[in-house]
């Protein structure tokens, strides 16, 4: 047995890896790794794929993250903000399309204060549907209020655990506060989702291994991993590195090995840089897809990175398209809400 196979066999039994083992897997070509991560996915969460309807309700953001096209200094971004009643209507469309979860995502936009958000959440919650929030850093009191209003899950990527790189990417932010947010979210009783970007300038394999260990130590219920895609209106503009896809896929697959029953999306960013990206991800450990349910005019404007997929597709068409793709690889769309551990 090769040393790689030994590591994979051990993880398959124990669901644990040391940092040096993770590094060895990250330096491999991934072929053996994906066989194991797909098997671990199959045995622990089954063949169902959970669909989450994504509502990107505002692209206004007070942050200036160096990689993101929605950063506040980008005055070429065409900004929009949906009113609460419209957000509620889109969620209703999601219910009609058969989604069992809606994800409310936005830039860090203080227009949506606690009262507005609690109103939106409690109205949407009148349907039999799970609600995931992805609206950035807030106070513990706010997280508690959203939970009390009916929110079930919260997504907040750590982005990178390399503190120096974190400071460079987010000069206005504080790594410790981000960790504080994640801990509060977990403590309050949300299912917590985190994740990282892969392929950032000066990001090392060593720090990606730390990212994976961080997901485990946090006790993440969901982990979203995406390749970094340079946006021309940001300080990190430049050539896309196609290797980011393979590295992101490996980070995702290793995460599946050590967190065997969590929810892992095949991310939109993966499909943006590889036309088969989501299918490949679903066959390498992922079990979730998050199609957008907004109309084209908003999808086009929510330009975190360029060349996003499905910009001109109607939400009903995306829903059918993705189901077709899922069925074509012998998988099926799950009919449950898809909480952690629920098939």
What span, in angstroms and rounded, lies between the C-alpha atoms of 137 and 70? 16
Q: Does 294 bind ligand FES (CB under 6 A)?
A: no
Q: Which is nearer to ligand 5AD, 159 or 211 (CB)?
A: 159
Binding-site member from 197, 212, 248, 326 for ligand 5AD (CB under 6 A): 197
Least separation, in Å, of the C-beta of 310 and ligand 5AD? Answer: 16
Binding-site member from 21, 108, 152, 159 for ligand 5AD (CB under 6 A): 159
Q: Choose the contact partner of 51 out of ligand 5AD, ligand FES, none; CB within 5 to 8 A by kind.
A: none
Q: Does 313 bind ligand FES (CB under 6 A)?
A: yes
Integer angstrom CA distances of residue 250 from 2, 135, 178: 18, 27, 25
Q: Which is nearer to ligand 5AD, 147 or 157 (CB)?
A: 157
What angle in degrees, to the nearest 10, is found between the helix axes of 19-27 and 205-218? 130
Answer for the pair 69, 303: CB distance below 8 angstroms, yes or no. yes
What span, in angstroms and rounded, lies between the C-alpha atoms of 141 and 34? 41
Q: Does 281 bind ligand 5AD (CB under 6 A)?
A: no
Binding-site member from 61, 318, 323, 326 for ligand FES (CB under 6 A): 318
Retrieve residue 20's tokens.
């040096």
> Which run of H or of E encompasses 90?
helix 84-96
Scanning the structure block, which residue is given the tokens 């069992």? 100
Q: Does 229 bind ligand 5AD (CB under 6 A)?
A: yes
What number of CA atoms fall less than 13 Å from residue 131's CA on the CB side?
26
Q: Does 121 bind ligand 5AD (CB under 6 A)?
A: no
Q: Does 321 bind ligand FES (CB under 6 A)?
A: yes
Q: How far is CA 97 from the centre of its chain?
A: 21
What span, in angstroms and rounded, lies between the C-alpha atoms of 203 and 217? 21
Q: Choose the contact partner of 228 out of ligand FES, ligand 5AD, none; CB within 5 to 8 A by kind.
A: ligand 5AD
Q: Does 305 bind ligand 5AD (CB under 6 A)?
A: yes
Retrieve residue 316's tokens.
């009903």
Q: Does 107 bind ligand 5AD (CB under 6 A)?
A: no
Name which of 189, 116, 172, 121 is nearest 150 in CA terms: 121
Least separation, in Å, of the C-beta of 87 and ligand 5AD? Answer: 17
In this structure, the dihedral spanned by the alpha carbons of residues 199, 200, 206 and 207, taken in order and rounded to 10 degrees, is -130
Q: Which is nearer to ligand FES, 74 or 93 (CB)?
A: 93
Binding region for ligand FES (CB under 6 A):
291, 310, 313, 317-318, 321-322
Binding region for ligand 5AD (CB under 6 A):
67-68, 157, 159, 197, 226, 228-229, 231, 269, 304-305
């Amino acid at each position: 047995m090769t040393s790689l196979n030994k590591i994979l066999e051990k993880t398959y039994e124990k669901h644990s890896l040391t940092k040096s083992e993770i590094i060895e897997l990250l330096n491999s070509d991934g072929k053996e790794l994906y066989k194991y991560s797909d098997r671990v996915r199959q045995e622990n969460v089954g063949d169902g794929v959970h669909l989450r309807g994504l509502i990107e309700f505002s692209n206004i953001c007070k942050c200036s993250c160096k990689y993101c096209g929605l950063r506040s200094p980008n005055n070429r971004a065409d900004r929009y903000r949906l009113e609460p009643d419209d957000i509620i209507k889109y969620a209703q469309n999601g219910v009609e399309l058969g989604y069992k979860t809606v994800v409310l995502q936005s830039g860090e936009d203080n227009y949506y204060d606690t009262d507005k958000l609690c109103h939106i959440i409690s109205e949407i919650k009148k349907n039999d549907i799970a609600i995931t929030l992805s609206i950035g850093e807030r106070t513990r009191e706010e997280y508690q209020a959203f939970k009390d209003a009916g929110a079930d899950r919260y997504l907040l990527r750590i982005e990178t655990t390399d503190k120096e790189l974190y400071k460079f990417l987010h000069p206005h932010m504080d790594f410790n506060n981000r960790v504080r947010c994640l801990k509060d979210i977990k403590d309050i009783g949300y299912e917590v989702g985190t994740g990282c970007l892969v392929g950032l300038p000066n990001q090392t394999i060593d720090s990606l291994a730390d990212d994976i260990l961080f997901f485990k130590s946090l006790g993440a219920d969901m982990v979203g991993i995406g390749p970094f895609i340079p946006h021309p209106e940001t300080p990190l503009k430049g050539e896309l590195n196609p290797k980011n896809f393979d590295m992101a896929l490996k980070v995702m697959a290793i995460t599946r090995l050590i967190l065997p029953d969590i929810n892992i999306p095949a991310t939109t960013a993966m499909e943006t840089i590889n036309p088969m990206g989501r299918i490949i991800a679903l066959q390498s450990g992922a079990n979730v897809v998050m199609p957008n349910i907004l109309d084209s005019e908003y999808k086009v404007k929510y330009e975190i990175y360029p060349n996003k997929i499905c910009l001109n597709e109607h939400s009903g068409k995306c829903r059918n398209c993705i189901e077709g793709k899922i069925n074509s690889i012998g998988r099926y769309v799950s009919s449950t809400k898809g909480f952690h551990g629920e098939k």
